[in-house]
Structure 1
Amino acid sequence: MTATRTASTLPTFPFDTPHGDDTDPEGLRLLADRSMARARMAEDGKEVWLALGYQANRQVMSDPRMARQPVTSPDAPVTVPALVGVTEVISVMDPPRHTRVRRLLAAAFTPRMVDRLRPRIQTIIDDLLDRFDSYDKPSDLMEMFFAPLPITVICELLGVPEADRSNLRGWAHRFMTAGAPEEMAATHQEVGAYLAGLIAAKRAHPADDLTTALVEVRDQGDRLTEGELVINIQTLLVAGFETTLNQFSNGIVALSRNPGQFDLLRQNPDLADNAVEELLRYVKQIVATIPWIASEDLDIDGHKVKAGDAVVGVPNIGNRDPAVFVDPNRLDITRSNASQHLSFTHGPHFCLGAQLARTEMRMALAALVRRYPNLDVAVPHADLEWRREAAVRALWRLPVTW
């Protein structure tokens, strides 16, 4: 093992990686030496631990001694400006509150509800693909297919009227853009006011949708507060649209860069389910993640972490750990353990919407390669335009021919 770096030579995080890259070369280089590394945050220069290895990431995500709520404080070891004072979103809660709110959310957002959506999802997919012949070539696959699918699905699931969906799409886009704190606060206020009205409407006129289910869900007399309802419906909206859209488009780019794997999928559309898991493993999605704060001294995969230390999980590097994935830097849509990836995280904060995202992506990818097996990116990969201000790895557009 190499000598410990001095503070002045620590790597900077997030890594200075071109947005078009599928992973972070600096992270892989560090992982080759150790599963945890010290780094300096780019925004404020504060020191953190980076969890790089697969097992280190899993432990950080599941160890009850790692806390999330401290990052909502302005004097946190690492401050996330967009989260300061935002204590009611499930992703920054700790037990026992996290346990309570997640139980209530899970009681409404059930696997059965997602399964019931499958016929509707297929209808939306078929309708969107039917329109392809009316477009000029090349056209933007994000606008043709990858954006309207998840926004329609999540809005129908939440019971959002069709007339309001363009506004919600714009808000979701703004949430994923690293804007100034005052801009984020203004967006929170706009969305919060809209969702408060939607919740009031569902309370007065219940419907067969997730918002109504969340309003009505109870557990031994307990229920979600108004603030918990608003912020967590907002989270479902953003995750259900923006992150799914970006995973779709990034996945097609990865397949286009690996034509042998793309051809294999075209020839065997039934591989779509496993291909989605491998793309989730292989393709970096999140540029920066929410830190964890150690509540006491502990050992993480052999590294001594002190109480108060901030730890940032880097799951896209954990997904490339050769201790778990053979030849991890190769895209292989037949990989037998692809679904062990950490892209939906792990432990108590495992993504509530994982089943919905998987269902949409699997159905969409299979239908796309069956209907249009010649589809491919229409410009040199180096010419693709990436949203450099985004908190996720996202394209502005994806020109394709078919």
Structure 2
Amino acid sequence: MTETQAVSTLPAFPFDTPPGHDTDPEGLRLLAEGSMARARMAEGGKEVWLALGYHANRQVMSDLRFARQPVTSPDAPVTVPALVGVTDVISVMDPPKHTRVRRLLAAAFTPRMVERLRPRIQSIIDDLLDGFDSFDKPSDLMEMFFAPLPITVICELLGVPESDRSNLRGWAHRFMTAGAPEEMATTHQEVGAYLAGLVAAKRAHPADDLTTALVEVHDEGDRLTEAELVINIQTLLVAGFETTLNQFSNGIVALSRNPGQFDLLRRNPELADNAVEELLRYDKQILATIPWIAAEEVDIDGYLIEAGDAVIGVPNIANRDPAVFENPNQLDITRANASQHLSFTHGPHFCIGAQLARTEMRMALAALVRRYPELDVAVPHTELEWRQSAAVRALWRLPVTW
């Protein structure tokens, strides 16, 4: 067998899984054979390693012998077109630059800031739930509740004027939809120009918001550059809206598909905190993650990763690893170790907005089941419409009755 023939027989990644599936059957099959697997990229055919096991993923995410910055090069072992030439977003930085920027971001976006938002988040939730009476049944829960909540929260956090929020929502949506390169470039230019203006406005007229805090944060005289400010605020915007929206809606679908668990939550809304962790573990969200490049030879669970090899972590498969999670393919909102999931990744690149996302989802889910315990998906699950070209597992709409 030639080398070309050998590569062609490898499983393709991302897996060809219908978007309505909550996990990847092919990934689970490969996990049963080992914690690491060889695969080829569906586009371009380049050979990569997939980290499938829980502990393999944690090692890749935290081992400094793996680097992110090389994937921004057009000559990378695996090229991510949207990242080529990008140098200032934290998700593709390596130490020491990553350490510096992460420290500055964390100094501005603090746990205390998120805790201060709780009363306002609760007020937004209550107002949205009050408005349910104005909708016909069935209606789209994403438009009624799951979209306006995170876009309002992240825009208020960043200090975005209410009149601009519909534009930001559109940009965030376009970022998470795999459009043509020209369309993505236009979106980057539009949102970059807007956020540069926002930064300039906050520099001239400081306010009590995260954008001002990011502009003003400093450490021994060091500050974020203009480019670092703009692109990392953009990242917070997209993650704070689009991914939270989709995790909300996917979670309701998962509960509806597991009516015993949904009924348990309705009877015990105090389980909402743990239910959110279990839904984060159980439900596939991101369809493909940024590759890591081995800077030197590394051993992972007995698999030899050579210098220059590309490794892609697959957290949704790691979250189903039976070595860590008992009966991993079962949704169990009382699972004791649900919070050990890797959906916010692990190590230096752990999601900086994880606390905000958790706070919103926990408060929203508890309030929703308390206020409308009869709420459920209004159509057969097979009739739900899923986006076919999104970077995340996402519905177009979620019709519900209540």
1:272 has 2:257 as partner: no
Aligned AA (1:384): L
- Secondary structure of the 1:331 match is coil
Deviation at residue 302 of structure 1 after TM alignment: 1.4
Aligned positions of 1:272-351 closer than 5 A: 272-351=272-351
Deviation at residue 27 of structure 1 after TM alignment: 0.2
User: Which residue does 1:167 correspond to in 2?
Assistant: 167
Aligned positions of 1:201-240 closer than 5 A: 201-240=201-240
Post-superposition CA distance 1:63-87 (Å, at most 9, x none) = 0000000000011000000010111
- Secondary structure of the 2:342 match is coil
> Identity, % of aligned pairs?
88
Contact in 1 for aligned 2:72/2:87 (Cα 8 Å): yes
- Secondary structure of the 1:6 match is helix
- Secondary structure of the 2:33 match is coil
CA distance in 2, matches of 1:8, 1:363: 47
User: Which residue does 2:80 correspond to in 1?
Assistant: 80
How many residue pairs are counted as aligned between the two chains?
398
CA distance in 2, matches of 1:8, 1:186: 35
Structure 1 residue ranges (4+ consecutive) displaced by more than 6 angstroms after TM superposition: none
- Secondary structure of the 1:170 match is helix
Aligned AA (1:262): F
Aligned AA (1:183): E
Post-superposition CA distance 1:16-42 (Å, at most 9, x none) = 000000000000000001000000001
Aligned AA (1:333): I
User: Which residue does 2:38 correspond to in 1?
Assistant: 38
Aligned AA (2:34): R
Deviation at residue 182 of structure 1 after TM alignment: 1.8
- Secondary structure of the 1:48 match is strand
CA distance in 2, matches of 1:148, 1:86: 30
User: Which residue does 2:18 correspond to in 1?
Assistant: 18
User: Which residue does 1:64 correspond to in 2?
Assistant: 64
Aligned positions of 1:102-181 closer than 5 A: 102-181=102-181
Deviation at residue 6 of structure 1 after TM alignment: 3.1
Deviation at residue 301 of structure 1 after TM alignment: 1.8
Contact in 1 for aligned 2:320/2:328 (Cα 8 Å): yes
Contact in 1 for aligned 2:8/2:40 (Cα 8 Å): no
Deviation at residue 9 of structure 1 after TM alignment: 1.3
Aligned positions of 1:189-208 closer than 5 A: 189-208=189-208
Aligned AA (2:26): E
CA distance in 1, matches of 2:219, 2:139: 49
Contact in 1 for aligned 2:296/2:307 (Cα 8 Å): yes
CA distance in 2, matches of 1:183, 1:291: 23
Q: Which runs of 5+ in 1 are unaligned?
A: none
Aligned AA (1:216): E
- Secondary structure of the 1:265 match is helix
Aligned AA (1:268): N
User: Which residue does 2:352 correspond to in 1?
Assistant: 352
CA distance in 2, matches of 1:330, 1:61: 26
CA distance in 1, matches of 2:7, 2:385: 35
Deviation at residue 8 of structure 1 after TM alignment: 2.4
Q: Which runs of 5+ in 2 are unaligned?
A: none
